[in-house]
Structure 1
C-alpha cells in the first residue's frame, strides 16, 4: 500500500515538472518600437536632476541608463519637462515651481 501511494506521489511530481517545463517562458514585456516619454520628479533624491537639467555629459549616460531600466534601447531626448506637458497650462511659473519642475526623458529603440 505504501509503495502504491509513493508511486502515485512520484507520478504527480513528475507530471508537475513536465507541465512546468513545457510552459512558455515569460519575458518582461519590452517596450514597443515607438518612443515613450517619462516624467521624473526633480527631487527624486538620486541626483538625476543635476545631470539632466544642466544637459551635462553625464545627462546622456543617466538618461540611457533610465531607458534601459525601463526596457528601451536608449534615450532619444532628455531635459527639463515643459510646463504644458505635465500641467496642461502655459502660465508663467514662480521660482519655487521651477525648482520642482520634473525632468523629461524620451526613450526609444
Structure 2
C-alpha cells in the first residue's frame, strides 16, 4: 500500500513539473520607462555624493542601483547637476543657507 501511495505522489510531482514546463510564456513583460533625469540633494544622508560627483567606479554602481530602484534598467549618465537644471526649481527663503550642488542621475529605459 505504501508503494502505491508513493508512486501516485511521485507521478503527481512529475506531472505537475511537466505541466509547468510545457505551459507557454504569458509574455507580460513590463514596458520600459522612458529616459529620465533625477536630481538628488548632495547631502541626502546616504553618503553617495563622493562616488557620483567624482565619476569613480562606485558612482556607476550607485547610479545603476538608484535607477533600478526607480524602475529603470541602468544609468546612462551621472554626476553633478548643471546649475540650469536646478536653479529656481524650489523657492528659497532669504535666511536659508545656499545648498550644496545636487547630483544628477539619468536613467535609461
**Fold-level similarity (TM above 0.5):** yes
Q: In structure 2, what is the equivalent of residue 68 of structure 1?
A: 68
Give the TM-score, by structure 1 length: 0.60
Find the aligned partners of 2:40 and 2:51 in 1 and give their Cα distance.
13
4+ residue runs over 3 A deviation? none
**Contact map agreement 1:36 1:108 (CA 8 A) in 2:** yes
Deviation at 1:45, TM superposition (A): 1.0
SS in 1 for 2:61: helix
Q: Please say if 1:36 is aligned against 2:45.
A: no
Find the aligned partners of 1:48 and 1:83 in 2 and give their Cα distance.
20
More helix by share: 1
Q: Please say if 1:106 is aligned against 2:96.
A: no
Query: Any stretches of 5+ residues in structure 2 without a counterpart?
Result: 1-29, 89-96
Give the TM-score, by structure 2 length: 0.60
Q: In structure 1, what is the equivalent of residue 20 of structure 2?
A: none
How does 1:4-83 map onto structure 2 within 5 Å? Answer: 32=33, 34-83=34-83
Query: Any stretches of 5+ residues in structure 1 without a counterpart?
Result: 1-28, 89-95
Q: Could you say what the CA RMSD is over the residues aligned between the two structures, in angstroms?
A: 2.1
Q: How many residues align?
A: 73
**Contact map agreement 1:80 1:104 (CA 8 A) in 2:** yes
